[in-house]
Amino acid sequence: MKPKDLPTVGVGFQGKGIVDPRSLTVHNVETLSRSQIRDIIYALGQDKPAWNTVQLKEQIKGIVHALQSGSISDMKHLENQLGITLPKGNAEFQFRSVPHAKQKPRQYTKDPTKYKKPDKGNKPPGKDRFCASCGQRARSNCFYRCCKQCCVQLKNPCTVHVLTGDKVVARKGYGSGAAQYQSEYNAFPIVPEDVKAMPGLRDLRENLDAYHEESKEVLEWRRNAMKMCYKADEEAAVDALGRYERNANLLAQVMKVERMEDLLEEKKRSAKRLRSSGEEIIKNDEERAEFKDWETQTNHLEMYNNVPTPLDVILKKLAEAKTVEELRQSVQQVGVLKDVPLEKIQEFSKWFEAPSAASFKVLKKVDAPRPVLKNVVELKPVE
């Protein structure tokens, strides 16, 4: 169906009918003109529809899709985005028409005076433009009558070849009169005074923070210096007091008056103490020597029946044995001979066959007889 055959709901900007958006499809949207789409969007509530055709078609496609799907969320989104009101369901909807004052119908009346008559070709061709500097052909009509290369080399303030940026847009052309009023071109927007003062305030704030930090460091250094001074003063006072006491003691010793009787009594007491200490040392040495001699002769301990026993006591017990069996048992109870076989003990001791009336005597190393090598028994140490 063509757009002219669709139902209308009002009058548009050009005095034509507004197509009902509820009767549109995606295929019909592609056939709509820009003016028809603007009329539809105005009828839905938007006061100033866009002029871009692509943007208008995207908007009308979204409206048609939302009306055909019936999605409330899509309708709400489009209404908030475009500022329009969409018809919902089969309820009556009042579309808005363009006021008569805003309607501008097209005038197709041809004015013959506005059309340029075709040239018959008898007019002479225009002169070619040549560069006044190098003589080559110049494309553009430069005020300095130079080509681009020469304008750049000569640094001409030419708005055609050199000054082509945004800074020379508002500059008036060469040879033309000045306008009655020409606004000053601002390369930068006007900045309020408080905004201009922000960098200075920021610098002041940074300087203030730096001053506070430096003040803290200076105060801390001063506290440490005061503590060091106090400590040095205390040490100096203690040192002075020590020197004073030492000098006072030396002076008291020098100035002290002693009697001869006191000196003699002190000498006697020291000699008596020295004599008594010497006698005690001699007495202790004698007792220690006697104890050592007695220990070397009689007081050697040996394990007998798992009890530490002096060697002379063990020998007495061996001498008191009346029979060979008692002697054998006594020998077995000695710690060194405890694990030695009886045969070796019999080889070692010839007095096993002798009568039991045996006597033992502790001999010194000098008086002891030398043993016979063939009767030597190897003894194992007890762990």
| Mean pLDDT within 196-202 | 79
pLDDT of residue 160: 82
The one-letter code for the residue type at 199 is: P
Q: What is the pLDDT of residues 261-320, one digit of tens each?
A: 777 888 888 888 888 887 788 877 777 766 565 555 444 566 666 677 776 677 777 777
Q: How far apart are CA 74 and CA 254, in angstroms?
A: 118
| Mean pLDDT within 311-332 | 72
Answer for the pair 338, 304: CB distance below 8 angstroms, yes or no.
Answer: no
Residue 167 to residues 151, 155, 183, 313: CA-CA distances in angstroms? 18, 17, 14, 131
Q: What angle do CA 303, 312, 363 make, to 5 degrees?
A: 120
Checking if the pLDDT of 20 tops 70, the result is yes
Output the furthest CA–CA distance in the chain (Å, rounded). Answer: 181
pLDDT of residue 349: 52
Q: What confidence tier does 358 reach under pLDDT thresholds 50, 70, 90?
A: very low
Answer for the pair 36, 59: CB distance below 8 angstroms, yes or no.
Answer: no
Between these two residues, 174 and 153, which has the higher pLDDT value?
153
* Residues in a beta bridge with 19: 8
Lowest mean pLDDT among 71-80, 171-180, 240-249: 171-180
Lowest mean pLDDT among 156-165, 173-182, 214-223, 370-379: 173-182
Checking if the pLDDT of 135 tops 70, the result is yes
Between these two residues, 248 and 119, which has the higher pLDDT value?
248
Phi, psi (deg, nearest 5) at residue 137: -70, 135
Number of C-beta neighbours around residue 34 at 10 A: 14
Stretch (H or E) spanning 303:
strand 301-304
CA-based R_g, the chain, Å: 68
Q: What confidence tier does 352 reach under pLDDT thresholds 50, 70, 90?
A: very low
Phi, psi (deg, nearest 5) at residue 17: -70, 150
Q: What confidence tier does 165 reach under pLDDT thresholds 50, 70, 90?
A: low
Phi, psi (deg, nearest 5) at residue 85: -130, 120
| Mean pLDDT within 324-328 | 72
| Mean pLDDT within 225-250 | 92
Between these two residues, 382 and 368, which has the higher pLDDT value?
368
Between these two residues, 359 and 43, which has the higher pLDDT value?
43
Q: How far apart are CA 383 and CA 339, in angstroms?
A: 11
pTM, 2 dp? 0.29
pLDDT of residue 245: 93
- End-to-end Cα spacing for the chain: 125
Q: What is the pLDDT of residues 40-97, one digit of tens each?
A: 888 888 878 888 888 888 888 888 888 888 888 888 888 888 888 888 777 667 777 6
pLDDT of residue 175: 46
| Mean pLDDT within 214-228 | 91
Q: What is the mean pLDDT of the chain?
A: 74
Q: How far apart are CA 141 and CA 126, in angstroms?
A: 13
Checking if the pLDDT of 172 tops 90, the result is no
Q: How far apart are CA 47 and CA 92, in angstroms?
A: 22
Write out the DSSP string of 159-204: TTTT--SGGGTTPPPTTPPPPS--PPP-SSPPPPHHHHHHHHHHHH
Q: What confidence tier does 260 reach under pLDDT thresholds 50, 70, 90?
A: confident
pLDDT of residue 356: 44
Q: What confidence tier does 188 reach under pLDDT thresholds 50, 70, 90?
A: low
| Mean pLDDT within 9-35 | 78
